[in-house]
Structure 1
């Protein structure tokens, strides 16, 4: 009875369905500035009246910089990454973009945030949906099986995950589909991961074994024995390195939010890019570029996709060139090889204003404080993903965004939790109910009776889902229809999404 009440409460938040046509959602951007200023030049670029000034004598304009409250920080002894960043700025004789700063902080080969540590879970800096409950990876597994069926059950399939973290999502996905041998035997797993430390954790999580090939001129291959069958697993630094030629399913969960963003601020002379500089006291600070920067081209592109009145209301704009380029790569890949892509992240269905944030030990901290010690992430601009995919290939069909609650509900998470609760201890049941709420709920869980500081906070509406599909393949065209699941077995072996 308690479970049914919980499910009904979660269902009342948002109807659990997956639409057969793209769904447009509107969200208020809490980072937007309500004030506007007129521009004396083009509304998209900074005044270029100083274009004849040699680049070696750049004059940095700090007069119009917007510094939000709470971004002050105390001097501290420089880390290796701080010294490296200051060295770059000194060598160039001027500041670096926020995008380059973010890239160095997260993925610097020697001291980047993700490179040499496990940052996930309660002992890390943040928790993701796969770490909350096994049900998340299982539901994504159902989606993969649906797509595999609709593709005509290919005998070989590339399953790609971007930024797999600890490998938890992929492990739960494989366990979820393990009873369907034809699906498992078709898989070639490709993990796009730049961190050697996380690669080792993923290797262990998937119970991988490295085997030397008989031919001495070939590299060793790695097989996962997690679900009994021997599944080939490969690691790659970028999506471009994943072999082509096979139907491909791509999963990107909380990957796009970690891609470097460039920030622009509107001043009297137009849009200026926000940069990171070194102050006289040797601390980092934000400044504005006096001239147009290469990233301005992406700002122009993003503004082209937005309504003029939407841009006019903003004093700041965030763009993510790497997200646009990666989306084009994904769209071209599934257009040529067949397949689909699933992107799950937090973001808005509108232009993003100022969302870049730093998290350390589950708390927000200053963006410029001790670079490399905190996670940097930004809200995902879903319209830019949709437009990038559609412009890259006319064969691509983009659906979404819809909420995570709608997505998981359409795949049968309510049936799954009922099945899991049938045979578990009370402690396990409490963990399942908490995990369920965090995945599909909105705000604080109404059933919580523990300490206030531990109340589960639902991710159901904060996270959005984008599905990019391509068709037809061998006479199949992908369709999005209601899923039919009973006791976590697919009724009639007729996959439907």
Structure 2
């Protein structure tokens, strides 16, 4: 396809030539098109980007995850070699904060094999600059692990994977598609119904016009990771906005310049995401024998790990920053901010008791 065309023009040409495309195909093109996708462009994070993630708000977030990971590593009898993996590491801020704390534990740094999975070239450069001393390796797939247990961290990773959407009608479920009406991108439905019995039992009795989302890409990623963790030992920690049990509802959203935006406008310039079905991810991990902790809110998780005490210590050591630290604490844990919106999921080898999930 002509590389001089904008991504919007390329998508419209594809629809014109081949007909409407699935929401997953549209989302995949918008986010990961090889040259014009959102995650192939410049740094989307921070005040100058489209959104700010928890690690960019405060060092406390990564420090407490570092404590969590060290605790799990110690429960595994401090293996002499292990893989520490981050999916979508952003600027490397989270991992830098994790390792600053974790490497204080004797033996952790010595056994560390740092693996990063990233698709944004600009962010890869920042990760290299920030984490170079830890000799990171960038993954191209989820089979490139060294011997030893695997500790996986994924903060705001699964929400960006493409979803498919289905809407219930009298004759069954119809897939939601992106097509063109009078030359403008618009949602429509596939004319071919999908029988009710092929859908998860959780949505079997859904009301007419209910919308159901499924993230096959997320299930595939989690399945691959879970199989390796089940074989080599370890844990998978995922933090994202989402829900505990499979349900209906339209959660696809676009964000541009820190404000909500139409998902069909400015493809490649708008961040697209959807809430994560943690119930589906839990089922995938349990199928291969991993244990799953009760889903926690981010506020609960960080509070159990001691964020209040850490905030107090930081404020005491930095009195001039006390107000900023208090605001960051509230932003990360407040029920009306990130505290309840974001959930924390953990699947792990049986016998481990990862901290942060029980009071």
Query: Which TM bucket (shorter chain)?
Result: over 0.9
Query: Using the alignment, how far apart are the partners of 2:285 and 2:139 within structure 1?
Result: 22
CA drift at 1:149: 0.3
Structure 1 position 246 matched with structure 2 position 152? no
CA drift at 1:480: 4.6
Q: What secondary structure sits across from 1:243 in the alignment? A: coil
Match of 2:279 among 383, 405, 410: 383
Query: Using the alignment, how far apart are the partners of 2:70 and 2:95 within structure 1?
Result: 13
Structure 1 position 437 matched with structure 2 position 333? no
CA drift at 1:324: 1.3
Q: Give 1:325's aligned residue.
A: 220
Q: Give 1:286's aligned residue.
A: 187
Q: Give 1:237's aligned residue.
A: 140
Which has the greater radius of gyration? 1
Structure 1 position 171 matched with structure 2 position 96? yes
Query: Using the alignment, how far apart are the partners of 1:300 and 1:152 within structure 2?
Result: 46
Q: TM-score, normalised by structure 2?
A: 0.93
Q: Which has the larger share of helix?
A: 2
Q: What secondary structure sits across from 1:257 in the alignment? A: helix
What does 1:273-312 align with in structure 2 at a 5 Å threshold? Answer: 273-280=175-182, 282-291=183-192, 303-304=200-201, 306=202, 308-309=204-205, 311-312=206-207
8 Å Cα contact 1:352-1:381 kept in structure 2 = no
Query: Using the alignment, how far apart are the partners of 1:400 and 1:232 within structure 2?
Result: 34
Q: What secondary structure sits across from 1:340 in the alignment? A: strand
Query: Using the alignment, how far apart are the partners of 2:80 and 2:171 within structure 1?
Result: 58
Match of 1:346 among 237, 241, 266: 241
Query: Using the alignment, how far apart are the partners of 1:400 and 1:133 within structure 2?
Result: 25
User: Number of residue pairs matched?
Assistant: 355
Match of 1:89 among 15, 18, 23: 15
Query: Using the alignment, how far apart are the partners of 1:85 and 1:129 within structure 2?
Result: 33
Q: CA separation of 1:143/1:313 partners in 2, compared to 1, >3 Å: closer, same or farther?
A: farther
Query: Using the alignment, how far apart are the partners of 2:50 and 2:101 within structure 1?
Result: 28
Q: CA separation of 1:314/1:329 partners in 2, compared to 1, >3 Å: closer, same or farther?
A: farther
Highest RCO, 1 vs 2 (Cα 8 Å, sep ≥ 6) = 1
Query: Using the alignment, how far apart are the partners of 1:415 and 1:195 within structure 2?
Result: 35
Query: Using the alignment, how far apart are the partners of 2:225 and 2:276 within structure 1?
Result: 16
Gaps of 5+ in 1: 1-77, 209-224, 226-230, 444-457, 472-476, 484-495
8 Å Cα contact 1:244-1:337 kept in structure 2 = no
CA drift at 1:301: 6.4
Match of 1:119 among 41, 44, 48: 44
The root-mean-square deviation of aligned C-alpha atoms, in Å, is 2.1
Gaps of 5+ in 2: none
CA drift at 1:279: 2.3
Match of 2:119 among 160, 177, 194: 194
Structure 1 position 478 matched with structure 2 position 357? no
Q: TM-score, normalised by structure 1?
A: 0.68
Query: Using the alignment, how far apart are the partners of 1:86 and 1:389 within structure 2?
Result: 38
Q: Give 2:300's aligned residue.
A: 406
Instruction: Please list the CA deviations of residues 391-448 of structure 1 after superposition, one character each: whole Å capped at 9, or x if unmatched.
Output: 2x1x21011211111111111111211111112132x1111111111111122xxxxx
8 Å Cα contact 2:115-2:139 kept in structure 1 = yes
